[in-house]
Amino acid sequence: MSFPLLTATAAVPAVGAILTAAVPAARRTAAKWLALLFSLATLALAAVVAVRFEPGGDRYQLTESHAWIKDFGVRYELGVDGIGVALIALTALLIPFVIGAGWHDADPLETHSSRWRPTQGFFALILMVEAMVIISFEATDVFLFYIFFEAMLIPMYFLIGGFGDRAHTGTDENAAAQRSYAAVKFLLYNLAGGLIMLAAVIGLYVVAGSFSLQEITAARAAGTLDIATNTERLLFLGFFFAFAVKAPLWPLHTWLPNAMGEATAPVAVLITAVVDKVGTFAMLRFCLGLFPEASKWATPVVLVLALISIVYGALLAVGQRDIKRLVAYASISHFGFIILGIFAMTSQGQSGATLYMVNHGLSTAALMLVAGFLISRRGSRLIADYGGVQKAAPVLAGTFLIGGLATLSLPGLAPFVSEFLVLVGTFARYPVAGIVATLGIVLAALYTLVLYQRTMTGPVKDESIRTMPDLKFRELLVVTPLIVFLIGLGVYPKPLTEIVNPAVEHTMSDVKQHDPEPEVEAAK
C-alpha cells in the first residue's frame, strides 16, 4: 500500500495540536516551539504533495479511499486537483507565520491575572484549524467534507472568543463582551449555513445514491444520473448558502468585521486567509461540479451579489476608523472578485479566482500581521491614534506599504495577476459586470493609500510614536518571506498557473462552458 500522503498532511497538525495541548502549563515556550515544529513538518508534507502532483495527469491524484460508515454509504475518500494543491500549500505556508506572529499573544498578563490565557491551548487550536482546513481541501466524499467544514468552527470559536485582541479602549469586561459577541455571531452564522447544507447533503444522497463527488460527476457525465431541474436548484442553493456565509458574500458577511476586529492579528489572518477560502474553494469543487445546470441558472444573481460585495466592501473600508475592520471590509471586496471570477464561467476568470485565493491569502497576511505589530506597539486599533510612524520605524512602515500595495493589486505584485485575469474573464462574457467591478480597484487605491498616509506619514502624533521600536528579528522572519512571495509570484506566476489551469479546464467541462470567441472585425 502506498504511503497515505494526504492523510499524513492533515494528521500531522492534528497530532501536533494534541501534543501541544498536553505540554505542562509551566512549559509555555516548549509548547510554542513544538507547535512551530509541527507546522513546519506540515509545510514539508504539503511541498511533497505539490511535487508529486502531475498537472497534466488525472483530475484527482494521490487518492485514498476506504469504507467508513457502510450503512450510509460514507467513505473516507481523499484526492487533490490543482486547485486543492494550491490551497493546501497556501495553508501550510501561512500557519508557521501565524504561529510566529502570535508568539506572545497568549502569554499571561502579569497585571491582569483574571485574563490569564492558556498558551498551549492557543497554539493547539491553530494547529487543529490547520488540520481541518487541509482535509477539507482533500475530501472528495461530500459527507466527509461536511464534517470538517463544520468542525473547524469549534476551534475558531475559542480562538476568537477566548484569545481576543488586547488593544481596546474600554474595560476588561467590555472587551470580553465584545469578543464573546463576535465569537457567537461567527458561530451562529456559520452553523446556520451548515445546517442548511446538511439538508442538501442528505437530499443529494437521496437522489444520487452516493456521497462520492467522483462517482456523482462521472455518472452525470455518462448520462446515467439525471437530477430533476427543480431538485438540482434546491440542492445547489443549500450548498451555496453555506459556502456564501463562509466566503463571506454580501449580505451574509456581517460576522467577518466583528470576528477580525476582536481577534488577535494572527487569528484574523487565520480567518480570512485560510478558513474563508474553504467557502470559495467549495463553490468551485461542489457547486459547479455537482450542480452544473443550477450553477448556470444562478449565475446572474450570484454575479450581482459579487458586484455588491466588491463595491460595498470597498466603500465601507474607505470609511473605517479601525485598522483591522478596514482590512476586514477590504477582504469582503476581494472575496467578491473571487466569486465573480468563479461564476464568470470562463477559464481566465476561474484561473484568476483560484490565483486570487492564494494571492489574497499572502497579501492579507502581510498587511494584517504588520498591522498587528503596529497595534501591539501603540495599544490602539484606531487610525486617528497614529501619524508619522515611518520617521520612528521605517522598516515597519515599508513592509506595511508593500502589504497595502499588494492589497490594491499594484502591477508587479502577486494579486495584480489574479485580479487582471478575473476582470479579463468577466469582460469576455459579462462586459457590464466587468466595468462595475473595476470600481473596486479605484476604491482599493483610495482606502489603502489613505490608510498609509494617515498612519505612516505626516507629523509624529506623540512621544509614544517617536520612541516606537522598529520591527524585531522575529517579526522580520514572519514578514520577509511573505513579501518575497508577493513579489516573486507577481513577476513569475507560472508555477501556480501550471498547477491550476488543468483543474480549471475540468471545471469548465463540468458546466459545459467554453470561452467566448473573440469578436474581430473582418478585414475590409
3-state secondary structure of 209: coil
Counting residues of the chain whose pLDDT is more than 90, the rounded percentage is 59
Instruction: Indicate if the pLDDT at residue 178 is higher than 90.
Output: no
345-368: average pLDDT: 92
Q: Which of the four pLDDT bands, split at 50, 70 and 90, describes residue 457?
A: confident
Cell 499572502, residue? 362
Rounded to 10 degrees, what is the CA torsion of 329, 415, 87, 85? Answer: 170
Buried b (16+ CB within 10 A) or exposed e, 210-245: bbbbbbbbebbeeeebebeeeebbebbbbbbbbbbb
Lowest mean pLDDT among 223-232, 353-362, 365-374: 223-232
Q: Which of the four pLDDT bands, split at 50, 70 and 90, describes residue 523?
A: low
Task: Tell me how far apart the alpha carbons of residues 472 and 63 are, in angstroms, rounded to a whole number.
Answer: 43
Instruction: Indicate if the pLDDT at residue 413 is higher than 50.
Output: yes
- Give me the pLDDT at residue 309, please: 94
- Give me the pLDDT at residue 168, please: 56
Instruction: Indicate if the pLDDT at residue 116 is higher than 60.
Output: no
Instruction: Indicate if the pLDDT at residue 111 is higher than 50.
Output: no
Residues 427-448: pLDDT tens digits?
A: 988 999 999 999 999 999 999 9
Q: Which of the four pLDDT bands, split at 50, 70 and 90, describes residue 519?
A: low
Going from N- to C-terminal start, the domains of the chain cover 291-515
- Give me the pLDDT at residue 174, please: 73
Q: Which of the four pLDDT bands, split at 50, 70 and 90, describes residue 423?
A: very high
**Average pLDDT across the chain, whole number:** 88
Q: Which of the four pLDDT bands, split at 50, 70 and 90, describes residue 262?
A: confident
Instruction: Indicate if the pLDDT at residue 113 is higher than 50.
Output: no
- Give me the pLDDT at residue 173, please: 64
Residues 5-45: pLDDT tens digits?
A: 999 999 999 999 999 998 887 788 899 999 999 999 999 99
Q: Which of the four pLDDT bands, split at 50, 70 and 90, describes residue 482?
A: very high
CA atoms within 13 A on the CB side of 16: 33
3-state secondary structure of 411: coil
- Give me the pLDDT at residue 446, please: 92
- Give me the pLDDT at residue 524, please: 52
Instruction: Indicate if the pLDDT at residue 522 is higher than 70.
Output: no
- Give me the pLDDT at residue 28, please: 86
Task: Tell me how far apart the alpha carbons of residues 429 and 261 are, in angstroms, rounded to a whole number.
Answer: 37
228-235: average pLDDT: 91
Instruction: Indicate if the pLDDT at residue 114 is higher than 50.
Output: no
Handedness of CA 197, 331, 257, 125 (dihedral sign): positive
Q: Which of the four pLDDT bands, split at 50, 70 and 90, describes residue 1?
A: very low
103-114: average pLDDT: 62
Q: Which of the four pLDDT bands, split at 50, 70 and 90, describes residue 267?
A: very high
Q: Which of the four pLDDT bands, split at 50, 70 and 90, describes residue 521?
A: low
Instruction: Indicate if the pLDDT at residue 339 is higher than 50.
Output: yes
Task: Tell me how far apart the alpha carbons of residues 75 and 69 are, in angstroms, rounded to a whole number.
Answer: 7
pTM (2 decimals)?
Answer: 0.91
Residue 61 φ/ψ, nearest 5 degrees: -125, 170
468-487: average pLDDT: 92
CB within 8 A of 495, min separation 6: which ones?
Answer: 489
